[in-house]
Structure 1
Amino acid sequence: MAFNSQRRERPDPADLDLADGTITRVAQQKKDLDRASIYIDDAFAFGLAVDLVIEAGLRKGVVLTAQQQRDLLVRQEVFAAKASALAGLSQRARTTDEVRQSLLRKGFTEAVVEDTVAAVERIGLVDDEAYAKAFVRDRFNGRGYGPARLRQDLMRKGVGRSVIDAALDELTEAEDLGEEARAQAAKKWRSLASEADPRKRQKKTLDFLVRRGFGFDTARAAVEAAAAGEASDEWGLS
């Protein structure tokens, strides 16, 4: 997994120097009503999500070993990571790797991150296959991107090769790539009407289509069609 220089540091519960003790106070935090402060032997020990406090049955008088405290803090990290992942997914759909990298940047340990990713996958909030298919359809129909550009963009998002292949196969079965390339070539060709050199005009249009992800042969045929279409218009043959 790639190292990210912008990664934040979060304390690892395994590295904390803790001692056995008795809970002497549990208090809801004023600045965050979803969290509670846990006091052990009259000293603040750590903060936990209120739901976790209730789930674990934490209250005054409960004795916690050092290992039990570490376990609670690990559960808190998982709870926080899931909350962070859900917040991101509520804004837009994301790939598995986008969720993973976001959590790693926030400093969660790899173990916590993988547990969180598995959890959101289990409940269907992250599905790379569905994401890739929707991404391909939306970018092709909405922006006119060709297969090569779509593949490149999905690879940047960490989608696996076989998943990308399946999504692109579905696109080529359902859509006429040549028709879309010809439509874009005609529009680009018209925008270059001030270009006096026809060879430069053809090259600029061809380069435009290739950048958008269309194969060279498809792009070349589209450029030829655009040039031929303009000639037909000029001679009144359309």
Structure 2
Amino acid sequence: MAAGSQRGAERTPQGGTVEQAKEVCLRLLAVRARSRAELAQRLAAKGYTEHVTDLALGRLAQVGLIDDVAFAEQWVQSRHTFSGKGKQALAQELRRKGVAASDAAPALEAISSDDEITRATDLVRRKLRTIPRDLDADKTIRRLVGMLARRGYSSATAFNVVKAELAQVESVNDEFD
């Protein structure tokens, strides 16, 4: 065996080898990007020791396959764009994924308040299409603000966007009456 491969093939008392741990990580990363903490959790669940896990994750980080800052940027961009999540929900998701606040901060700061308002407005417009026209105005406001709050938008942003969109709908309806 070559000297470089012997280190990775070194067997630990319990669990597998560093090479096996890296293979598990590579399979997981082939499905989707993951944080270092997520990978460590999965390896621990499979019975890899902390020592083997640290060596495997260290090597993958060294070659650039694990990068929590890049993971946070990709996660925030994707979830904000495609799932309509607000900053609060995204910050919570990243915490659950084990991303340090310092690694998550640059990604979250990349979403401006204008970006949040634009995305929230789009969500409200889509939801308004499915809300019955004869529904009480207060109920409509509660439903729309609640929908945005569940997606992680601040109450101020949610309320302002809903009020603006309802005023827009009212002015359009007045034109056709």
User: Please, what TM-score do these two structures have when normalized by structure 2?
Assistant: 0.87
Tell me the amino acid that sits aligned with residue 212 of structure 1: R
* Distance (whole Å) between structure 1 residues aligned to residue 29 and residue 156 of structure 2: 39
SS of 1:236's partner is helix
2:44 to 104, 116, 136: 104
* Distance (whole Å) between structure 1 residues aligned to residue 135 and residue 110 of structure 2: 40
SS of 2:23's partner is helix
Checking the alignment, whether the CA contact within 8 Å between 2:10 and 2:18 is kept in structure 1 is no
Counterpart residue number, 1:211: 150
Give CA-to-partner distance per residue, 1:138-187, whole Å, 9 cap, x none.
111112111111111111111111111211111227x5211221221122
Counterpart residue number, 1:67: none
What stretches of structure 2 of length at least 5 have no aligned partner? 4-8
Checking the alignment, whether the CA contact within 8 Å between 2:35 and 2:97 is kept in structure 1 is yes
How far apart are residue 131 of structure 1 and its match? 0.8
Checking the alignment, whether the CA contact within 8 Å between 1:195 and 1:201 is kept in structure 2 is no
How far apart are residue 91 of structure 1 and its match? 2.1
Counterpart residue number, 1:84: 24
1:176 aligned to 2:115? yes
In structure 2, the CA distance between the partners of 1:171 and 1:196, relative to structure 1 (3 Å rule), is closer
1:116 to 56, 62, 65: 56
Task: State the aligned residue count.
Answer: 169
1:150 aligned to 2:97? no
Larger helix proportion, structure 1 or 2? Answer: 2
After TM superposition, the runs of 4+ consecutive aligned structure 1 residues lying more than 4 A away are none
How far apart are residue 194 of structure 1 and its match? 4.8
Structure label with greater radius of gyration: 1
Tell me the amino acid that sits aligned with residue 185 of structure 1: V
Counterpart residue number, 1:234: 173
Counterpart residue number, 2:12: 74
* Distance (whole Å) between structure 1 residues aligned to residue 60 and residue 134 of structure 2: 53
* Distance (whole Å) between structure 2 residues aligned to residue 100 and residue 195 of structure 1: 52
User: Please, what TM-score do these two structures have when normalized by structure 1?
Assistant: 0.66
SS of 1:203's partner is helix
* Distance (whole Å) between structure 2 residues aligned to residue 156 and residue 195 of structure 1: 40
How far apart are residue 86 of structure 1 and its match? 1.5
* Distance (whole Å) between structure 2 residues aligned to residue 127 and residue 100 of structure 1: 13
How far apart are residue 236 of structure 1 and its match? 1.0
* Distance (whole Å) between structure 2 residues aligned to residue 72 and residue 218 of structure 1: 55
How far apart are residue 82 of structure 1 and its match? 1.4
Checking the alignment, whether the CA contact within 8 Å between 1:81 and 1:113 is kept in structure 2 is yes
In structure 2, the CA distance between the partners of 1:139 and 1:195, relative to structure 1 (3 Å rule), is farther
Cα RMSD for the two superposed structures: 2.0
Tell me the amino acid that sits aligned with residue 11 of structure 2: L
Counterpart residue number, 2:128: 189
